[in-house]
Structure 1
Amino acid sequence: MDASENPSSEPVEQPESAELETVAAKTASSAAAEAEAELAPLDLDKLADRADRPDEAARELLRTRLAGLAIPAAGLGRLEELAVWLAGARGTADLRPISRARVVVFAGDHGVASLGVSATAPADATAVTLARLRQIEDGGGAVGVLAALYGATVRVVGVSVGQPSGRIDREDAASRAEIEEAFRAGMAIADAEADSGADVLIPAMVGVGGSTVASALSGVLTGKDAAAVTGRGSGVDDAAWMRKCAAVRDAMRRGRPVLGDQLELLAKIGGRDYAALTGFLLQAVVRRVPVLLDGVTTTAAAMLVQRIAYRSPQWLLAGALSPEPAHKSALDRLSLDPLVDGYAVRQAEGALGLLALPVLKAAAALAAELQTFEEAGIPEPVLRSRV
């Protein structure tokens, strides 16, 4: 991560030792700003054309090898499915261990937090976002603990910290130009991670009010009512939950008319951080890097990517399932089953994706290192069949 300046006109204090990256820093110089202004509008159809299918030949080769492993028939269960998925994503049946898992945390403040939709007091929203970023930068928080435990690294990208998005229940989250700039920045970050050799990407988000935005996007994208996609988020009481439902309902009314235009939907009820995350996910798919989704925020962005490039869910896996109702609705829409279920973990910010990382690592390692009957010199059972 590279240290950079905060783009706010009144700079927000950053962690002293942080390497907090800001999206605006990518266009900080006047020359870069001029180049940005000359860019043609994003053509999502052209971007979608670059999203290919996983390699079916590699999948079939690995299926054949797995069928001959010196273990009971279908002995690895769903781990075999994960290994085959990974082979298709990597384009080879010769699996290697996952060694460069990378968590990328997008951070932003949300104007809707001013309505008291979070357990955090509205006046403290930016300070809390910054405190969380300091904690993550120092290797703390659930994401830091789990990343260290499972051998992942963490990158934090400050998109709109100290510059809250518009209050989405009554005004746009951001301008179209700001959304396109953030979307491109997210794509560039995915390119950088792919170029650095990341073999699994785990996108995440930090920011007070983020689950309210995710609920609004999920409601519009799944066609569900506000109450059906609005959860307790940071652990709000009944009064705050009702305020949150009302904000989601009003935001959904503003978002439905532009459902067919993903960038405009992000401008109406998403925000710059969601635009950066969406661009990141789309480019990860284009670059053929496997993605392990985190919680309700990343699945909301994944649904947007699905509407841009219908093949994109083939490159995605779902981590742990949270109690947020919008999370389950989004996974159903994406036709994804969580790798970890039954623990009701609310903490996201990368933790839900990381909880599933050892399962994916196990699938890759077992498929790569277990011997077939022939390799082990063990006679294959005569009556053995795949079940």
Structure 2
Amino acid sequence: MAPFTTLAEFREVLAAAPGSDQFARDQAEARNERLTKPLRALGRLDDLAIWMAGWQRTPKPTVDRPQIAIFAGNHGVTTARAVSAYPAEVTEQMVLNFQAGGAAINQIARSVGARLTVHAIDLHRPTADFTQGPAMTEEECVSALQIGWKAVEDGTDLFVAGEMGIGNTTAAAAIATALFGGSPCDWVGRGTGVDESGLLRKVEAVEAGLAVNPGARTNALEALRCLGGREIAAMAGSIARARVDSIPVILDGFICTAAAAVLARAVPGALDHVQAGHQSAEAAHRNMLLRLELDPLLTLGMRLGEGSGAAVAISVVRAAVACQSGMASFDEAGVTG
């Protein structure tokens, strides 16, 4: 059972989440200084290892049970405003592809040794068109948050949330505009590859959504409810669950980062357990990472979604903890330090 039944309770649970273990970080730092290498010679890998140590509460962190959870949902704005190059039914078709093992994320998950779970959320019942009013009722939003919360499996030691939802770059752009301000033009991108007229329709949809949902600009969880989708809320729920359980998280691209940004704006420090896996090719993603003060591990020009960029970054984190936990110290190796 998720320990919340309202958005207010969800925020309270997130605000009460424990922080990183400073003692374990200090131990990891001390161990790192004695490993058989020049001090900080592994650069960002050293930093990652110590960060992992704090959240796993051990100076020798591991990545033995990474999990990738994909959440899928459909959006009323997709059909109502023609904001995507693909029809809404592609969401369900891609879910079937995930389940059959045929998508890019299946191959990447297999290559990095991660468990992949797929969570389709009411695909035959899209959210409401947010240009006409809130995308979700509070009950619907809480239900999606709970699905994400419950999706994080026991024993997971590194978590990635991915998504599938035709039209969800429009929802993410609307959330970003509500949370960070500026013009919709600053946040709207081509997503699945819309042309100039499609790009204009996306901008107009975000403008309309913000106009009819004024509370989204002043309350982060209202931004999620009014402008988001079930899969975006589920990602937020899963990232929050990981925070409460002290599980490190690697963020994927623009849509996943928008879900995480809701948490950051709702509760300061809510993303202390998060690293940005990559910077996607979606233009506004870099700006969002800058606003959240997250430095991406990779920049590969990816814009697929599905958790794919974050999944590739699992290998980077694996390398970091392998060096931290497996290398010999100067004393152990008989090397003069």
SS at match of 1:201: strand
Who is 2:120 aligned against?
158
Decide whether the 8 Å contact of 2:15 with 2:270 is kept in 1: no
Change (3 A) 1:45 1:182: closer
**What 5-or-longer segments of structure 2 have no aligned partner?**
none
Alignment partners' CA distance in 2, 1:177 and 1:233: 29
Does residue 316 (structure 1) correspond to residue 250 (structure 2)? The answer is no
Decide whether the 8 Å contact of 2:248 with 2:273 is kept in 1: yes
Runs of 4+ in 1 over 4 A off after TM superposition: 39-42
Change (3 A) 1:159 1:62: same
Let me know the Cα RMSD of the aligned residues: 1.9
Decide whether the 8 Å contact of 1:255 with 1:268 is kept in 2: yes
Who is 1:108 aligned against?
73
Q: Give the letter aligned to residue 106 of structure 1.
A: F
Who is 1:54 aligned against?
20
SS at match of 1:313: coil
Q: CA deviation at 1:161?
A: 0.8
Who is 2:313 aligned against?
356
Q: Provide the identity percentage.
A: 33
Q: Give the letter aligned to residue 19 of structure 2.
A: R
Alignment partners' CA distance in 1, 2:149 and 2:238: 5
Alignment partners' CA distance in 2, 1:254 and 1:76: 50
Alignment partners' CA distance in 2, 1:325 and 1:76: 30
Decide whether the 8 Å contact of 1:51 with 1:309 is kept in 2: no
Selected match of 1:125 from 85, 88, 91: 88
Show CA shifts across 1:152-207 (max 9, x none): 111111113121111112222111221122222322223xx1x2x11111001101
Show CA shifts across 1:227-251 (max 9, x none): 1111111111111111111112222
- Using the size of structure 2 for normalisation, the TM-score is 0.94
Alignment partners' CA distance in 1, 2:11 and 2:39: 43
Alignment partners' CA distance in 1, 2:224 and 2:15: 21
Alignment partners' CA distance in 2, 1:259 and 1:162: 29
Who is 2:223 aligned against?
265
SS at match of 2:61: coil
Show CA shifts across 1:116-173 (max 9, x none): 21111xxx312x1111111111112110110111111111111131211111122221
Show CA shifts across 1:329-372 (max 9, x none): 2212221111001x211111111111211100000101111111
SS at match of 2:118: strand
Summarize the alignment of residues 249-264 of structure 1 with structure 2, pairs less than 5 Å apart: 249-264=207-222
Alignment partners' CA distance in 2, 1:283 and 1:176: 19
Summarize the alignment of residues 103-252 of structure 1 with structure 2, pairs less than 5 Å apart: 103-114=68-79, 115-120=81-86, 124-126=87-89, 128-190=90-152, 193=153, 195=154, 197-252=155-210
Alignment partners' CA distance in 2, 1:255 and 1:62: 47
Show CA shifts across 1:294-331 (max 9, x none): 11111111111112321222100111211213322221
Alignment partners' CA distance in 1, 2:276 and 2:163: 15
Decide whether the 8 Å contact of 2:289 with 2:295 is kept in 1: yes
How many corresponding residue pairs? 335
SS at match of 1:166: coil
Who is 1:11 aligned against?
none
Alignment partners' CA distance in 2, 1:302 and 1:350: 13
SS at match of 1:117: coil
Alignment partners' CA distance in 2, 1:131 and 1:40: 32
Alignment partners' CA distance in 2, 1:302 and 1:366: 29
Q: Give the letter aligned to residue 146 of structure 2.
A: R
Decide whether the 8 Å contact of 2:216 with 2:227 is kept in 1: no
Decide whether the 8 Å contact of 1:219 with 1:326 is kept in 2: no
Alignment partners' CA distance in 2, 1:339 and 1:253: 36
